[in-house]
Amino acid sequence: MKEHRAYRRLEAVFRKVSVLDGCLSVLHWDMSTMMPEGGAEARAEQMATLKSMSHDLLTRPQMAEWLDEAAEEELDPWERANLREMQRDWVHAAAVPADLVEALARAESTCEMVWRQARPAADFLMVLPSLRELLHLVRQAATAKSARLGVGLYDALLDQYEPAARSADIDRVFADLEGFLPGFVVKALEVQSRRPKPMVPQGPFPIDRQRDLGLQLMTALGFDFKHGRLDVSFHPFCGGYPEDVRITTRYDEDNFFSALMGVLHETGHALYDFGLPDGHWRHQPVGRARGMVAHESQSLMLEMQACRSPDFLAYAAPLMRQAFGGEGPAWEPDNLYRLGTQVKRDFIRVEADEVTYPAHVIIRYRLEKALIEGRMELDDLPAAWNDGYARLLGITPPDDRQGCLQDIHWFGGAWGYFPTYTLGAMTAAQLFDAAKTADADVVPGIGRGDFRPLMGWLRSNVHAKGSLLSTQDLLTDATGRPLDAAVFKAHLERRYGR
C-alpha cells in the first residue's frame, strides 16, 4: 500500500487551516453578539492575524509541488475529491498577496462595525468612506483571482461561495425568473385578495417568550444544544463550526413571526453543519458544505418549504398560543398559514415572501456585479438601489436603513454571495419535492413536529456527502435531474396561484 506522502502532507496543512477558520468564525460570532464597541480595533487585528496565518499555510512554497505529486498518487474517490477542493483553495489563496489578505481582514472588520452604527441611523454617508476602502481592496483581490482563474472579476468572487458558478448562467436563470415573476406577483395578489385577510396577532410579545418558543421549535427540528446555541445580532446568521454551531436572530416585540422564521431559517443552516461528514473528513475541504447554494437550500427549505406549510403550522399554532397566551381566530392554524404566506411588495429581504424574494436578490446581484466591474460608482448605490426596487417591485424604500443598508454582506466583505440565495431557494424546492416523493412520511411527520423523516433523507442525500460532488451532481443524484426552474415555479403556483 502506497504511503501517499504528498497527499498526507496536504491533509496536515488543511487540518490546521480548518482549525484556524473555526477560530475566526467564533471570533466573528463574538464580534456580532457580545463584543463591546471598544474591542473593535483589537478584534480587527486578531482576525487579520489569523487570516494571515491561514494564508501563509496555504501558500507555503511546497504546496504546488505537493499538489502535483498528490495528483499522481493512487487515491480513493473521497481523497481524490478532497485533493480537488485543496487545489481550488490553494488557487484562491495563492492569487492574493499576503499584505492584501491582512488589509482586507482589517477593512472588513472596520466597515462592519461602522455599518452597525450607520444602519439604525439610516445614514449611508456614515459608512461610505469605510465601504469605499473595502470595495477598493475587494476589487484588487478580484483582479488577482480573475487572472489566476481565467474568469471575469465578478466570477472570481462568486467562485469563493459557489464553486464553478458563472454569472453568465445566473444571468439566464434570473432573466427567466424576471420574465415570470412580475406577472405571477400580480396573479398571487389577486388570488390572495379573494381570501380572508389574515388577522395579525396582537402583541407585545416579550422577547424571553419569543426566545423560549424558538428554542422549543429548534429542538423539534433536531438542533443539538450540546453543540450549539442561539443568540441575538443585528443581522441573523449561522457561524461557528460543526461541533459548536452558533446561530442568531433579532427580535421585535410587535412581531414574533419574523424572529421565529429567522430562527428556523438559521436552524436549517445549523442542521446542515451538524450533518457534515465527521471523523477523518471533519477538518478536510471535502468535509465542508458543498457551497452556499446548497447551504441556502437547507435554510430556505426549512423556513419556506416546511415551516410555512399548513402541516407545520397546524402543529406549531398551539405552541404559539401557549407561548404568548393567545386567544381567538388570529391564532388558528389557517390564519397563521395565510399570515406566513402573505405576498407583499416590501423593502426587507429577510422578511420577504417566497414570491417577491427573488426580486430582492436579483436587484442586489446586479448592483454588486456593476460595482465590482466598475460600471457603477459607490456614491450612486442608494439611488440605484431605489431605482431597482421601483422597477422590479414597484416600491421605493423611504430611507437607507430599509434600502441599501439593510444587509450586512457588502459591509462585511461578502461580495459575490447574493445570487446563491435564489439559486438556493430553487434548489430547496427541488430537494423537498424529491424528499416527499422518496418518503411518504415527510409531510405527515412535519405535521407532528417530527422532522426525522425529512432530516434522514437530507442527511443521506445532501449533508453526509459534504463536498464529494459538485453542486449539480449532488442535486442530480438526489433528485434525478440538475437544477430545474420548473420545479420552483410549480411550487409557487401550488401555494400562491390557486
Integer Cα distance of 483 and 472 in angstroms: 7
Tell me the three cell numbers of residue 155: 466570477
Q: Report if residue 80 sits inside a domain.
A: yes
Contacts of 220 (CB under 8 A, 6+ apart): 449, 450, 451
Domain that holds residue 27: 5-134
pLDDT value of position 152:
97
Q: Are residues 130 and 173 in the same domain?
A: no
Q: Report if residue 250 sits inside a domain.
A: yes
> What's the structural domain count of the chain?
2
Q: Are residues 178 and 43 in the same domain?
A: no
Q: Are residues 130 and 196 in the same domain?
A: no
Q: Judge if the upstream peptide bond of residue 382 is cis by omega within 30 degrees of 0.
A: no
**CB count in 10 Å sphere of residue 383:** 11
Tell me the three cell numbers of residue 288: 465542508
Q: Are residues 201 and 303 in the same domain?
A: yes
**Do residues 280 and 231 lie in contact, with contact meaning Cβ atoms separated by under 8 Å?**
no
Q: Are residues 319 and 406 in the same domain?
A: yes
pLDDT value of position 1:
40
Query: String of b and e for 190-217 (b: at least 16 CB within 10 Å)?
Result: eebeeeeebeebeeebeeebbbebbeeb
Q: Report if residue 327 sits inside a domain.
A: yes
Q: Report if residue 395 sits inside a domain.
A: yes
Q: Are residues 117 and 180 in the same domain?
A: no
User: Which CATH number covers residue 490?
Assistant: 1.10.1370.30
Q: Are residues 16 and 111 in the same domain?
A: yes
Task: Provide the H-helix boundaries in 285-418.
Answer: 292-300, 310-324, 333-340, 357-372, 381-392
pLDDT value of position 4:
81
Q: Are residues 234 and 287 in the same domain?
A: yes
Q: Report if residue 346 sits inside a domain.
A: yes
| Dihedral, CA of residue 113, residue 118, residue 124 and residue 128, to nearest 10 | -30
Q: Are residues 127 and 200 in the same domain?
A: no
Q: Are residues 225 and 102 in the same domain?
A: no
Please list the active-site residues: 266
Q: Report if residue 153 sits inside a domain.
A: no
Q: Which amino acid appears at position 206 of this protein?
A: P
Integer Cα distance of 143 and 140 in angstroms: 5
- Among residues 169, 450, 457, the alpha carbon closest in space to that of 293 is found at 169
pLDDT value of position 297:
98
Q: Report if residue 386 sits inside a domain.
A: yes
Sign (positive or negative) of CA dihedral 265, 270, 275, 276: positive
pLDDT value of position 36:
94
Integer Cα distance of 299 and 301 in angstroms: 5
Q: Are residues 63 and 208 in the same domain?
A: no
Q: Report if residue 159 sits inside a domain.
A: no
Single residue among 77, 112, 134 that ends a domain in this structure? 134
Residue in the block written with cell 449611508: 124
Tell me the three cell numbers of residue 165: 458558478
pLDDT value of position 8:
96
Contacts of 204 (CB under 8 A, 6+ apart): 253, 254
Q: Are residues 110 and 183 in the same domain?
A: no
Q: What is the mean pLDDT for each group of 10 consecutive residues in the chain (498 residues)?
A: 82 98 96 94 94 96 97 96 98 96 95 95 98 98 97 98 96 95 95 95 96 98 97 94 96 95 97 96 97 97 97 98 96 97 95 95 98 97 97 95 97 97 97 98 98 98 98 98 96 96
